[in-house]
Amino acid sequence: MELYSYLNPSESNVLSDDYTLRLVELNKDILKTIKESNSGKNKFYIKSTDDKSFPVLVTNNQTFKIRQKNHSNSVLLVDLNNVNNQKDTDNNKDNETGVGFMNFDNQLELSLITGEINISNIPILDNLSDIESTITDKSISLNDLFNNSIISKEEFDLKTSDLKLIEINSQVYILNDKLIIDGLYEIISILISEYLETKQDDTNSANNNVMDIFNDIKISYLLELYKLDKFDKSILNEKIIELIVKKFSEINCGEAEEGIDISYKLNNDKVVKFFGVYLLKLKNSLNFINEDEFLINLKNKLPFYYNPNLNLNLLNGNFIRNNLNFKDIQFFNKNLLNPNPILRFKELFKIKSNWELNEIEPFLIDINIKKLKIDKFIIKFARIKKIGKKSIVSSRN
């Protein structure tokens, strides 16, 4: 409907004739944000990655895509009583049931999406010594990156650590995995070393309880150790220390208030997964390796005295198994798979003609948009058959 979707800017003295205003129906979340914005608690605004990309409307913690929904043969009814704040009663002689507008061919609506950060132009930092050589006149700060990404502020803050983003000298970098591995190894080793020094008189107890120190990590304490030259400064600086702690830890309950020296708990599964995937890429991108041998290699890569649970299931979706010897594994980059479900299955069956259900599932999660039960999703594109206690997935062809 033209009246609903468009306002003629020529009727306004503020805008030029080059602009067309569109109306969009606001949902409950946005209306709540508008009320909160009056008290300064929240705000919303429109963003886009560039002039040609689709716009989004974001609040402090949500991102909504603005999309046009087309209609045909539709009529919009307007409740004038509601507009005029009149109650719909039998005694109200002026009761107006509505007005219909024809030519209602489209409307704008808000769809909640997961915010995304545009990292296409962000350089990768391999070594701290490379910083000077990467400085240019077109530096991108974290604030610039946020403004050019379709994402809310809270989502942005969470994803910066996940994407290994760090700002140094007003330039954002993506940290190389090797730099993260070395930094994480250094932090864990120094924490263990400092703890054992305080327990020299009771080494047996110290060795048994060493993993407990990772339940209460404070960035301020690590920064103090950094100033005391406890860390290798060719690997770490203060910002990398903070990023690594946030990437591999969770805030302890009740510690997230502003102004409090926040306590973090190391997520050992995240640490094992990061080390494990890195080791798979490094050693087993071309060849298979026995899973028991791989776990031994992984254990040897971790800091001394650091003894998390080594579970190969943490690496699901990052390796494939050899059909001839199921205990042999090899790194596989799932990011190279086609996002189209039909083509995804074709690619997977080119790699292996038969998959166990629990092995193929991690490679399908991102395309199972409706969150169907995995077997119901698979039978739309492939065949599942029972062989003993195992469910085997194969092509229909």
Q: Can you state the angle between helices 291-301 and 268-283, rounded to 10 degrees?
A: 110
Q: Phi and psi for 252 in degrees, rounded to 5? A: -65, 145
Per DSSP, the residues of 139-204 read ---HHHHHHTSS--HHHHHHHHHHTTEEEETTEEEEEPHHHHHHHHHHHHHHHHHHHHHHTTT-HH
pLDDT at 169: 87
Helices H / strands E in the chain, number of each: 15, 20
Helix (H, G, I), strand (E, B) or coil at 263: strand
pLDDT at 5: 44
Among candidates 272, 367, 378, which has minimal Cα distance to 316? 272
Helix-strand-coil percent breakdown of the chain, rounded to 5?
40, 20, 40
pLDDT at 13: 47
Per-residue pLDDT 10s for the chain (397 aa) are: 333 444 444 444 454 556 666 778 788 888 888 888 777 677 788 888 877 778 888 988 999 998 887 777 666 666 666 656 655 555 555 555 566 555 567 778 888 889 999 898 899 999 888 776 666 667 899 999 999 899 999 999 999 999 999 999 889 999 999 999 999 999 999 999 999 888 776 666 666 689 999 999 999 999 999 999 999 999 999 999 999 999 999 998 765 555 568 999 999 999 999 999 999 999 878 899 999 999 999 999 999 999 999 999 999 999 999 887 889 999 999 999 999 999 999 999 999 999 999 999 999 999 998 889 999 999 999 999 999 889 999 999 8
